[in-house]
Amino acid sequence: MIDVRRLRTDLERTIAALARKRVPEDEVRRAAALDSENRQLAARSEELRSRVKAFSKQVGDAMRSGDAANAEAARDESKRAGEELTALERQGAVVEAQLRDAMLRLPNLPSEDAPDGASEKDNVVVRTVGYDPARYGPHQRAPHWEIGAELQILDLERGAKIAGSMFPLFQGQGATLVRALCQLALDRNADAFTEVRPPTLVRTPVMEAVGQLPKFADDAYHLERDDLWAIPTAEVPLTSMRANEILAEEELPLRLMAYTPCYRREAGAAGRDTRGLLRVHEFDKVEILAICRRDQAAALHAELLDRAVGSVAALGLPYRILDISTGDLGQSHARQFDVEVYAPGCDMWLEVSSVSWFSDYQARRAGIRYRPAGGGAVQICDTLNGSALAVPRMWAALVETYRQSDGTVELPVCLHPYFRGSTSITGSLRS
């Protein structure tokens, strides 16, 4: 969350910054008012605690001197002050909970470098690489759901039979392609990132730490019986691995990566690009994440973006990089770049990676701090992450791009080591 002290010392600039993310001014002022009320109640409560303590001392002194009347009077005053304190503490707990909820709902301040905009239409294309619409033949203009059915490598109907719509079922070489893409991403980043296999069900505070809750509860899968949440991305457990810890400065930057399945209800996406693998409820992804000092963040953001682009380039897919406008930035994001690949069968640019800097927003919520090597106060860390490779749309773009005139799919050379000697997807199935 943002530092509550901003609401006390720099309210107008905070309002202006959050307006770039379309946050109504009254939401920010309400949080500031709750903070002021909370501090006033805390001060009054502390004053009453001192009075109760003073009256208790008077009772003792009067009893020891045999002054029963003064002891009784002091006892009555102590009781009244105690009752007032109890009421104030009850009121303070309500206001404190309201303040916490308001602060959890306020998004991160956007970076000054993020382009202004009202929506995704205002995202800025930084560069486009390898795209030539004239290069594609008619055989590449078939959508992946048709290719998958023809080769029997993607079975959306049986996936829906098992779990409902938007739960794809991959089989044969289609399933191998899922695994190969994930292993490729892990192998490409193993030089600098420690691999983790985290739990994919997490507690509520873990979802709160990254900004998924409370705002995006409707988009998540919740196991109410156990109060556990299915992760929408490995960013969630990786961030909280070091929650409420103080790291040594020498540990920074801390680099982690993880392959996990991911789960998203996509509650707000009904009817939007739901064919095939364009929008699914369950998918596989490799995430890369960094925890660092503020002065390390810019270089790490560039590195994570380069690594995400590197995997796309290794697969030989045309891509473009978007600088996400303030109107499209996520709850926790200060700056974000998206990587999109072109899928000729769908004739669409598909987002396959988001690479984001969260400043200290997530680390403040998670309590991730570091102790400077040279001494001084403990500092809040910064966090960054990126999709090293997200499977469904990459899978879709790849089978469309590399489809041959005979209906088979040629595999990029970098995937050959993961395909048990095959260099193409022919659709043959093993029982």
Q: What is the CATH number of the domain that holds 133?
A: 3.30.930.10
Same domain, 350 and 311: yes
Is 164 found in the same domain as 21? no
Residues 101 and 149 in one domain: no
Determine the average pLDDT of the residues in 6-15: 97
Residue 205 has pLDDT above 50, yes or no: yes
Residue 431 clears pLDDT 50, i.e. is over it: no
50-59, 158-167, 234-243, 316-325: lowest mean pLDDT where? 50-59
Weakest-pLDDT range from 41-55, 158-172, 259-273, 391-405: 259-273
Tell me, yes or no, whether 66 and 127 share the same domain.
no
Which pairs count as long-range contacts for 224-232, CB under 8 Å and 24+ apart, including other chains?
A: 226/201, 227/203, 228/201, 228/202, 228/203, 229/201, 229/202, 229/203, 229/204, 230/200, 230/201, 230/263, 231/200, 231/201, 231/202, 231/260, 231/262, 231/263, 232/262, 232/263, 232/264
Q: How many residues does this entry show for the chain?
A: 431
Q: What is the mean pLDDT of residues 83-107?
A: 95
Same structural domain, 232 and 334 = yes
Confirm whether 115 is domain-assigned: no
* 65 in any annotated domain: yes
The gap between the terminal CA atoms of the chain, to the nearest Å, is: 52
Residue 111: inside a domain, yes or no?
A: no
Q: Which amino acid is at 268?
A: G
Tell me the average pLDDT across 329-341: 97
pLDDT in the model for residue 52? 87
| Residue 429, pLDDT score | 45
Least confident residue range of 229-233, 328-332, 420-424, 425-429: 425-429
Q: Which two tokens stand for residue 391?
A: 């499977």
What is the model's pLDDT at position 270? Answer: 58
User: For residue 118, how far is the Cα from the chain centroid?
Assistant: 21
For the record, the structure tokens of 208 come out as: 């709160």
Closest CA to 118 of 287, 286, 367, 324: 324
Co-location of 61 and 191 in the same domain: no
Please report whether residue 193 resides in a domain. Answer: yes
Per-residue pLDDT, 62:
84
pLDDT, averaged across the chain: 95
Same domain membership, residue 98 and residue 159 = no
Residue 387: is its pLDDT beyond 90?
Answer: yes
pLDDT value for 78:
87
How many structural domains does the chain have?
2
pTM of the model: 0.92
Q: What is the largest CA-CA distance in the chain?
A: 107
**Taking residues 158-186, what's their average pLDDT?**
97
Residue 221 has pLDDT above 50, yes or no: yes
Q: Which of 79, 105, 131 is the last residue of a domain?
A: 105
- pLDDT for 245 equals 98
| Secondary structure (3-state) at 319 | strand
Same domain for 14 and 143, yes or no, is no
Q: How confident is the model at residue 43 (pLDDT cuts 50, 70, 90)?
A: very high
Domain assignment of residue 54, given as a range? 5-105
Assess whether 286 and 319 both reside in one domain. yes
- Same domain for 275 and 398, yes or no, is yes
